[in-house]
Amino acid sequence: MDLHPNIPLKNFMTMRLGGPALFMAEAQTPEEIAEIYHFANSRSLPVFVLGGGSNVVANDQGFAGVVIHIRIPGFDVIADDLNSTTVRVGAGEIWDETVKRTVDMHLSGIEAMSAIPGTTGAAPVQNVGAYGQEIADSLQSLTAYDSQTDTFVTLQNADCDFSYRDSIFRGSEKGRYVITSITLKLSKSSPQPPFYDALQKYFDDHGVHAFTQEIVRNAVIDIRTNKLPDPKLLPNSGSFFKNAIIEDWKLNELRTSYPDMPAYDMGDGMLKLSTGWLIEQAGLKGKVIHGMRVHDKNSLVLINESAGSYADLANAREEIIGVVRDKFGVQIEQEPLEI
């Protein structure tokens, strides 16, 4: 266990904001996670688990505890039959590299989640998803360190209580588990239409009528490249706001004034709105608010153009939330976690 004091968190966040961590330590093995927790507990210090820093923002005060930077490697086939292949992947593996490996193996299930930044172990935390797929569809189980019992446990898919961009790791058991590996069961069948609307439109526009995992992956990468800024060049956390979930009566009310408002049926009388559409219709697309620019190609994304502090980001967030609430009566929420 190698502890480093007073490490600036902004150097590990794709938004490039945040004060120092009291301590930071890399974990290359599950056992190192337990060691770091033992150290933190002996000094009554809080712990925060960090992957790629692409879906988390840090405040100006930093973190008065220990940040564990997850670097656990591994990619192994653990089961194989005529219809599927099951792989176990270390939590520190880069997510997009995991997707590429499965696509190269001609496996379906996560190819539409290509080019999402971050680590593999972070994917279940917010039930990562894109273009009609989400990690809950393929995740069979995961292994984790349970900080309450100081043991390593296996959680099945149902134990994670997945929902739209949510799980026990963000909700009821936030801070309890540190994911060390995930197990995915992937199909050997080729992807089949109908695809998610934006992806289907891409195929229609490009005259694509035959589909493989690689074709879907390349299409998603092309779409994302054109609508999402590279955090290495323009500091951002990807989609900063979740798509809003509303009841069907609210959509009927809204469509009396906005008949073209896009919505996606989620069942049980609930619908998902395009928060990017709401922000754009509220006149905020391309605007710079407290140093944060609402991306002109995807209004869900906030780019740190000149913000010097987390306070600037927080002020921009609250202003955007307020404008959307005042115009539509819809409450939108931040997607990235906070440290």
| Structure tokens belonging to residue 135 | 């990690």
Is 71 annotated in the active site?
Answer: no
* 262 Cβ contact list (under 8 Å, min separation 6): 273, 274, 277
d(CA 171, CA 271): 21
CA 51 from centre of chain: 11
CA distances to 85, 203, 227 from 128, in Å:
21, 23, 18
Is 253 annotated in the active site?
Answer: no
Contact at 8 Å (CB) between 181 and 141?
no
For the stretch 258-267, what's the b/e string if a residue is b when 16 or more beta carbons lie within 10 angstroms of its beta carbon? eeebebeeee
CA distances to 21, 143, 152, 245, 269 from 168, in Å:
25, 14, 17, 19, 23
Q: Which residue has the tokens 């609508």?
A: 227
Is 165 annotated in the active site?
Answer: yes
- Can you tell me whether residue 200 is helix, strand or coil? helix
- Name the catalytic one among 214, 280, 305, 335: 335
Closest CA to 30 of 246, 138, 178, 168: 178
- Name the catalytic one among 114, 141, 239, 299: 239
| Structure tokens belonging to residue 254 | 């809204």
Axis-axis angle for helices 213-227, 197-205 (nearest 10): 100
- Name the catalytic one among 165, 217, 293, 317: 165
For the stretch 84-102, what's the b/e string if a residue is b when 16 or more beta carbons lie within 10 angstroms of its beta carbon? bbbbbbbbbbebbebbbeb
Return the active site residues.
165, 239, 335
